Every structure is written in structure tokens, then in C-alpha cells.
Amino acid sequence: MSDSNTVYNYDSKVEGDIIFSRLDAVVNWVRQHSVWPMPMGLACCAIELMAAGGSRFDISRFGMEVMRFSPRQSDCMIVAGTVTYKMSEVVRRIYDQMAAPKWVVAMGACASTGGMYRSYAVLQGVDRIIPVDVYISGCPPRPEALLDGLMTLQKKIGREKSSRKLFTG
Amino acid sequence: MQDEFLNGLVESYDYLEKRSSVDWPAVNCPPDRLLEFLKMLRDVRGFDMLSDLTAIDNMDELPRFTVVYHLYDTQKHTLIRVASNCPEGEPPTMPTATGLWAGADWHEREAFDMFGIVFSGHPKLTRILMWDGYPHHPLRKDFPLAGKEVDLPAADVALATKEKVRPAPMAGGPFHSTPGGHMSESEPRGNDESWSEKKEKPSG
Ligand code: SF4
């Protein structure tokens, strides 16, 4: 039994220099292991995001350490912090500027739901303006939780039917 | 010593009134004498730093708005609080203190943004926290904490997302912690937890 996501193991005796696989599996495997995050650090959660990049937690073990501050070079926006209505414009605009395929991680209570800020100034969840793939609970989430969220995102990317969209855009 | 200072001040400037205070000397000053009084405090009494400028909404009392100045003496390390009631009428107005302290600029913009107090003579009185074009003044007592429905700051984002600024679900809030007790009991929570986004507020 194999579906579009099965990764076939390479057996040199059988296959020689040729590897058989599904296009989806190859494309997803590539995408999954080079996630370039856009650190949208807006409040205290960004401190944990920075910790996740440090040597103790070391985000690069999972192939997603290349934080890019240019939306053109990144494909996963990590919204780490409180999104105010005033900032919502910027968040949406940066998301629009990121090249597809792109994903969004809502890190922490604020980005997911507005958190403890039930107030006139705060957007009650960033999913109101951009589509979110993974929500991470916590205020703030520990770096491990962020890593877990990003690994969940990798699994999600692995399940995508990416080749279908590859040539049609 | 503070009492002496305050009494002396009120005696020499007959337009002043003592203002109740638990810490530093405080006076009420009429708005038309405010600038000359602040200038005197700065130049003669040594209060060389404007450490804060804010406002109070008295809501049902008249006059409704009071602007409060905290001046600091960087040599003697003392503070004085000067309060001045805005004349009645909408918008409430107050002369700007930017001519005396450049630092008054952003404080006055904040008081304008939050309370709608117009500081006459201010070089560029625009909002500082909320976005330009926001129609309300959120720290006024008649403005609900949850906010009011208005358009998003950017028209194109509003169009693309069909979103608006919506009143936040309060769900028994505002959240506050009760002092003392075990952490699990004192963590922030709403006053009334009988309803939430998922459970309707019981009527009656
Ligand atoms: S979820 Fe908590 S830690 Fe994160 S931005 Fe909000 S308040 Fe700060």
C-alpha cells in the first residue's frame, strides 16, 4: 500500500543510481526540511522565539533556523506576540509579500486568540486576517512547544498534495 | 517641609488651590494661569523636568477633564503635581506645555489620543497610540473596554479579509487578579464566569 506521501527507501542493490518516489513525497521532503521562518516578533513571545534559536534549544536541529527578516526570502511566518489592530495592517502586508507556498504559525495565546488582551486595541486572533496552519498554546509557549509546533507544521507540509499545484500555480 | 513649601506656594499665588494628595505636594491651577505658573516652577523653583503629563476623566462631574502635570526637581529630588481643569465644552482644551518642555510633545499627543484633549499651540497634535483616523478616544469613561466596531486601519486589508475592528468578547471580564492566596486562585480571571463565547450570558 502506498499513497502520494509514502517515501520509498532507497535500495542500492535494486535501484542502482536511480531513486523511485512520488513527486509529492520529494517536493514535500524538500519543503519540510528547509522552512525559512519570518520572525514576526510583536511582544513577549518573541523572547521565547529567540531562545528557540539559541544553542540551548537549537531550532536548527530540525531544519528551520534560517530566520529571514525579508518576506521575499521566507515561507513560514511565526506570529509571536500580541497583534494590535494598528499592527494588523503590517502583518497582513508582510504575509502578502511572502512567496507561495507559505505557512503561518500562531505562537502563543495572543496570536491565537488575543490572549488576555480583551481590549479595544487588540486583534482577537491573527487568523482573522491571515490563514493559520498551526496554533501553539501558552503564554508564552516554551521553546520546546514552538519546536513541537514547527515539527507539527513539517508533518502538515508532508501531507500536502504539492505536485498538483506545482505547475498550475 | 513639604507642607511649608505648599503653604508658601499657595500664599504667593492666590489663584492656586491645594489639592488632596497622599504623597507629593499638589495644587489645582486655573488653565489661563497654567503656563505662567509652570514656567515659574521651572525657572524659579527648580522643577526642571516634566516627568509626566496625563489626564483624568471625571465623567459625571463638571468640569469633566483634568490635565495633570508631574514636575521633578533633578537637584533636590522632589516632585510636585499640578492639576488643571479643562474649560467645559467639546473638545476640551488646554494650552500646550511644549514651549516649556520639549518632552511634553508625546505626552500631549497621548492625552489627545486617549482623552480627546486638544492642546492648543501643539506643533503636531496627532494620535500616537491608535492609528490616524480612529474615531474614538478609548480612555474616556464612556468608552467600553471591549471597544466599538469601526473599520480596520487599512482599507485594502479590510477588503481582502472582510474584517473589522470588533468589540472584544469580554466573557465575564475584565480579567483581574485577586491579591493574596495561592497562585492558582489569584491568577487573573473574570468577575463573572457564568458565561463565555460558547455559553450565552444568563438573562435576568
Ligand atoms: S501570549 Fe503571553 S507571552 Fe505571548 S505575547 Fe501574549 S502576553 Fe506575551
**pLDDT value at A112 more than 60:** yes
Domain membership of residue A106 (yes or no) is yes
Q: pLDDT-derived band of residue A160, with 50, 70 and 90 as boundaries? A: confident
| Domain assignments of chain B as residue spans, ordered by start | 2-143, 144-198
Say whether A92 and B147 touch across the interface (CB within 8 A): no
**pLDDT value at B173 more than 70:** no
Distance of residue B182 Cα from the nearest chain A Cα, in angstroms: 19
What region, left, alpha or beta, does residue A116 occupy, with left being phi > 0 and alpha being psi -120 to 50 degrees?
Answer: alpha
- The atom of ligand 1 lying closest to the CA of A108 is 1
pLDDT at B1: 65
Say whether A121 and B161 touch across the interface (CB within 8 A): no
Rounded average pLDDT over B97-115: 94
**pLDDT value at A2 more than 60:** no
- Give me ligand 1 centre to Cα B5, in Å: 46
pLDDT at B71: 95
> Bigger pLDDT: B16 or B192?
B16
**pLDDT value at A167 more than 80:** no
Domain membership of residue A137 (yes or no) is yes
Say whether A85 and B173 touch across the interface (CB within 8 A): no
Rounded average pLDDT over B116-120: 94
Say whether A120 and B143 touch across the interface (CB within 8 A): yes
Domain membership of residue A86 (yes or no) is yes
* Least confident piece of the model among A40-54, A65-79, B57-71, B162-176: B162-176
| Chain A residues interacting with chain B (CB cutoff of 8 angstroms) | 85-86, 88-89, 92-93, 114, 116-122, 124, 128-129
* Least confident piece of the model among A3-7, A141-145, B12-16, B95-99: A3-7
* Least confident piece of the model among A6-10, A150-154, B71-75, B158-162: A6-10
Q: pLDDT-derived band of residue A10, with 50, 70 and 90 as boundaries? A: low
Q: pLDDT-derived band of residue B25, with 50, 70 and 90 as boundaries? A: very high
Q: Which of A40, A42, A45 to mutate to test the pocket of ligand 1 (most atoms within 8 A of CB)?
A: A45
Condensed to tens digits (0 to 9), the pLDDT of residues A47-81 reads: 999 999 889 999 888 888 889 899 999 999 999 99
CB A24 within 8 A of CB A5: yes
Q: pLDDT-derived band of residue B185, with 50, 70 and 90 as boundaries? A: confident
pLDDT at A168: 65
- Give me ligand 1 centre to Cα A141, in Å: 8
- The atom of ligand 1 lying closest to the CA of A48 is 3
SS3 of chain B: the string is CHHHHHHHHHHHCCCCEECCCCCCCEEECCHHHHHHHHHHHHHCCCCCEEEEEEEEECCCCCCCEEEEEEEEECCCCEEEEEEEECCCCCCCEEECCCCCCCCHHHHHHHHHHHHCCEEECCCCCCCCCCCCCCCCCCCCCCCCCCCCCECCCCHHHHHHHCCCECCCCCCCCCCECCCCCCHHHHCCECCCCCCCCCCCCCCC
Quote the domain boundaries for residue A66.
37-168
- Give me ligand 1 centre to Cα A47, in Å: 10
pLDDT at A7: 61
pLDDT at A21: 77
Mutate to test the interface with A, among B110, B127, B131, B175 (most CBs of A within 10 A): B131
| CA B195/CA B31 separation, integer angstroms | 47
**pLDDT value at A134 more than 80:** yes
Rounded average pLDDT over A116-122: 89
Nearest CA owner, ligand 1 atom 8: A44
Q: Domain B2-143 - what CATH class?
A: alpha beta
Comparing alpha-carbon positions, the chain B residue that sits nearest to A84 is B130
Mutate to test the interface with B, among A82, A93, A120 (most CBs of B within 10 A): A120
Domain membership of residue A18 (yes or no) is no
Could you give the number of structural domains in chain A?
A: 1
Domain membership of residue A81 (yes or no) is yes
ipTM confidence score: 0.81
Rounded average pLDDT over B122-149: 92
pLDDT at B98: 94
Condensed to tens digits (0 to 9), the pLDDT of residues A18-51 reads: 777 788 888 888 888 889 999 999 999 999 999 9
pLDDT at A50: 92
Interface of B with A in 142-201 (CB under 8 A): 143-148, 152-154, 157, 160-161, 163, 165-171, 173-175, 188
- The atom of ligand 1 lying closest to the CA of A44 is 8
Mean pLDDT, chain A, whole residue set: 87
Pocket of ligand 1 (CB under 6 A): A 43-45, 81-82, 108-110, 115, 139-140
Packing angle between helix A143-158 and helix A45-53, nearest 10 degrees? 80
Domain membership of residue A115 (yes or no) is yes
